Each structure stands twice: as C-alpha cells, then as structure tokens.
Amino acid sequence: MSRSAPEDLVALRRDLHRHPEPAWREFYTTARIVDELETRPVDELYVGREVLTDDRMAVPDETDLDAWFERAREAGAREDVLESLAGGYTGAVAVVRRGDGPTVGLRVDIDALPIAESDDGSHAPAAGGYRSETAGYMHACGHDAHATLGIGVIDAIAESDFEGTLKVFFQPSEEVVGGGGPMAESGHLDDVDYLLAVHVGLDHPTGEIVAGIDGFLAVHHFRAAFTGTPAHAGAKPEEGDNAVLAMATAVQNLHGISRHSDGATRVNAGLVGGGTATNIVPEEAFVEGEVRGETTELMEYMRERAVRVLRSAAEMHGCEVEITTEGRAPSARSDDTLVDLVADVGGETAGVESVIRRDSLGGSEDATYLMRRVQEAGGLAAYVNVGTDHPGGHHTGTFDVDEASIPIGVDVLAASIEAIAARRP
C-alpha cells in the first residue's frame, strides 16, 4: 500500500501546525513538503525560484527573511532545499504523469498568520502538544491542512485509475495576496486544462462540501509613504511640512470615497505610523491600506480614487508621497461544468453528508490569479470548500481544523480529479 494512512496525514498536519511561517518565509514548510514528495511517485518536482516569477509582492526585508531561514534550519529543514529557497522564494510544484489525458491542477496554499495561538486547555493543539512553537504566529486559516491535502491527493491519485497529468501547486503567501500572481505567471499553469483550488472550513462543518465558491472580492493592498520637511514644532513650525497631517488627511478621505452603483466595494486604512517626537514637525509617515471590489473593475475604481486621495493629501500639506503595491488579486468565478462534476462526485463520497453547489466567500483569495490564468487559456477552474468543524473563527487564536475532515477532503478532491480526467468536461 502506497497510500498514506490518515495517521500519516494527521502527523504531517500537526508538524506543519507546530511550525507556522508567514508569507514568503515558508522555509521549513516547503522543505517539509519536499521531504514528503520525495518519498512518493512524483515525476517532476520544482521548488522555490523554479515556481515563481521575480514579480513578487509584499516580500519582507532581508533581516526578517534571514531570521526565519535560520529558524527553519534549527527546526531541522534540509540544507539543500533551504538553499533553493534563499531570498524567500518559497513554494513547490509537484507533477505526476500517468499516461495520456488532460492536465489537472490542484492549488493549495501553505502560509500562516501573525496571530498568537490559544494555549487554553480546550484548544486541541494546546491539549495535544502540537501548538505553534513560534510565539505570535499560527496556522489560523487551515493552510497546514491544505498542504496536507495536496500530499494526500498525490497518494490517492497514484493508486487510482487516473490517466493524465496531475500538478499540485503548493503556493506561498496567500495571506498577503502576494504569491498567486507570480506562481500563475511561472509557466507551470500554461498547460493546465482544469484547475481545482481548495479551502477548508469557512463556516462549513465536517462532512459538508461546497462544489464552487464564488464572490471573491478583487483586492489591492497598498503602502503610501509620505515625506515632509522637519522643523522645530515650537520655534519654527511654519518651516515644516507635516507628513503625519498628510497621512491623517489621507486616512479620513480614503474612507470618504463614494460607493459604486455597480456593486460592493471596500476600503480600509489598516496600519498607520509616523513622526519621531512631540516637538518635531514629522518628516515621515505612512499608511498601509486596501481596497476591494465585487469585480476587478470595481476594485480598480476604488484603487484609482484611493491614489487620487493619497496624492491630493500629500499635495495639500506640501509633502511627497510614494505609493507601492503590496499585494493584489483579481475576482474570479468557478465554472459551472466543474462545479457540477465536483458536486456529483462529492455526493458519492463516503463521509460527505451534505453538498452545497455554490456559496460566496465574501473575502479575497489569490487563487483567483491561477483560476483566471487557466480560464483565459480556455480551461476550467473551480474553488472547492471542504467543510471542517472549527471552534474559533478563521484568523483567530482558537481556530482549529477537525482532522476527520482531511481524509474526506482527499477523497473528494482525488475522485474529482480522476473524474475530470476521465470525462473531460
């Protein structure tokens, strides 16, 4: 038997859970995934720089990357794999070739979040001894389970009658919507005829499957750095150009951008800072924020208005502003024929008690880059949800994955992939 017993998958998920790594710092995680892949019938394995273009967004500075690199090394990540991830080029693509047939892709994301994990005895990872070992970081969105699903599906496909090529995309940096774009453009998607992306939970319980998630808000993350002129706040205030004032003016007015009659839009100034002391007219200030839209066009409308506000606020206070993109993802829609197929297969899979055909995410996801890449080349894509009971909500310290949902997810995804190759919808 080559197939993982569920205990193996649970052990992998717990190991990843103990070592959460945020965007572009998934060094241990990628090395651990490579370890797993090398024991399996994988025909081609691409790692790090081989799976991403240079066009990465929201990459942390070198000091930060180095600290996480070292931490991964200390945790036992393999040196040869680490070398290929230098500079924060994380992630992997595994290819399984099994005769003539279409190329089916599965996209799973692998990054964690800067959230402290609960140490309460009622939180299963705390009680079970696999709580995060990195203070302030946690797999609070189930991406540890997603990486595990990717491995489990390779096992299941190796044992199945699947005919075609399977590509599993272990994508980094979803949480900052930074990894989807550079992976989508890497060339590895170019021959993919069908793509499934997967997420666990999302308020759907264990045993429930959603065949097609839609309602991805297109999103754009930005950072605006304001530069003014410093001056003595008491003696010569008129000689200063106050960068904090420019930033504050921008924050107020970002939230004053008009709604759009075509659909939902969002704006948030989420992180601000600036200045050095009470008696100095501040020279530097910044705001990091995001705009979203129900469609990519609506997001673009918000982005253009936001840029106008940022520039005008700088101008108003005699400051300069530099605006950079920190992350971005378009909207996307799951294709009907794939949704129907996954719903069919899900309904026949052991452990599945309820199948919902479609549901709306109401958030953002950069799997949309990969989905659109495949769709624009004439292929089909769907975003599948595997329900899991989760005590705390996503992105909270008490979030957890019900491990019973992992083998169900593997079965639904593998059976769907096999059916896609056989039926070529």
| Rounded (to 5) percent helix, strand, coil in the chain | 35, 25, 40
**Residue placing its CB nearer to Zn ion in the complex, 81 or 141:** 141
CA atoms within 13 A on the CB side of 383: 27
d(CA 392, CA 401): 10
**Residue placing its CB nearer to Zn ion in the complex, 216 or 286:** 216
Yes or no: say if 361 and 212 are a contact pair by the CB < 8 Å rule: no
Yes or no: say if 415 and 104 are a contact pair by the CB < 8 Å rule: no
d(CA 394, CA 397): 9
For the bound state, the minimum distance from the C-beta of residue 143 to Zn ion, rounded and expressed in Å, comes to 6
d(CA 230, CA 243): 9
**Residue placing its CB nearer to Zn ion in the complex, 12 or 141:** 141
Burial class, 126, CB count within 10 angstroms (exposed 0-12 / middle 13-18 / buried 19+): middle
**Residue placing its CB nearer to Zn ion in the complex, 104 or 177:** 177
For the bound state, the minimum distance from the C-beta of residue 141 to Zn ion, rounded and expressed in Å, comes to 3
For the bound state, the minimum distance from the C-beta of residue 174 to Zn ion, rounded and expressed in Å, comes to 6
Question: In Å, how far from its chain's centre is CA 308?
Answer: 29
For the bound state, the minimum distance from the C-beta of residue 199 to Zn ion, rounded and expressed in Å, comes to 6
Burial class, 129, CB count within 10 angstroms (exposed 0-12 / middle 13-18 / buried 19+): exposed
d(CA 288, CA 362): 21
For the bound state, the minimum distance from the C-beta of residue 137 to Zn ion, rounded and expressed in Å, comes to 15
- Give me the count of residues in the chain: 425
Q: Which residues touch 74 (CB under 8 Å, ≥6 apart)?
A: none
Yes or no: say if 395 and 141 are a contact pair by the CB < 8 Å rule: yes
The CB-nearest residue to Zn ion is 141
Residues that bind Zn ion (CB under 5 A): 141
**Residue placing its CB nearer to Zn ion in the complex, 249 or 398:** 398
**Residue placing its CB nearer to Zn ion in the complex, 201 or 274:** 201
For the bound state, the minimum distance from the C-beta of residue 305 to Zn ion, rounded and expressed in Å, comes to 28
- Tell which residue, 405, 407, 420, has the closest CA to residue 340: 420
For the bound state, the minimum distance from the C-beta of residue 146 to Zn ion, rounded and expressed in Å, comes to 8
- Tell which residue, 54, 29, 346, 328, has the closest CA to residue 198: 346
For the bound state, the minimum distance from the C-beta of residue 335 to Zn ion, rounded and expressed in Å, comes to 21
For the bound state, the minimum distance from the C-beta of residue 268 to Zn ion, rounded and expressed in Å, comes to 18
CA distances to 176, 216, 322 from 325, rounded to whole Å, are 11, 19, 10
**Residue placing its CB nearer to Zn ion in the complex, 103 or 148:** 148
Residues paired with residue 384 on neighbouring β-strands, in sequence order:
198
Instruction: State the DSSP string of 10-70.
Output: HHHHHHHHHS---TT--HHHHHHHHHHHHTS--SEEEEGGGG--S---SPPPHHHHHHHHH
**Residue placing its CB nearer to Zn ion in the complex, 141 or 224:** 141
For the bound state, the minimum distance from the C-beta of residue 377 to Zn ion, rounded and expressed in Å, comes to 26
Strands, E assignment, 250-395:
265-274, 280-281, 284-293, 320-329, 354-360, 380-386
Instruction: State the DSSP string of 71-92.
Output: HHHHTT--HHHHHHTTTT---E
**Residue placing its CB nearer to Zn ion in the complex, 82 or 141:** 141
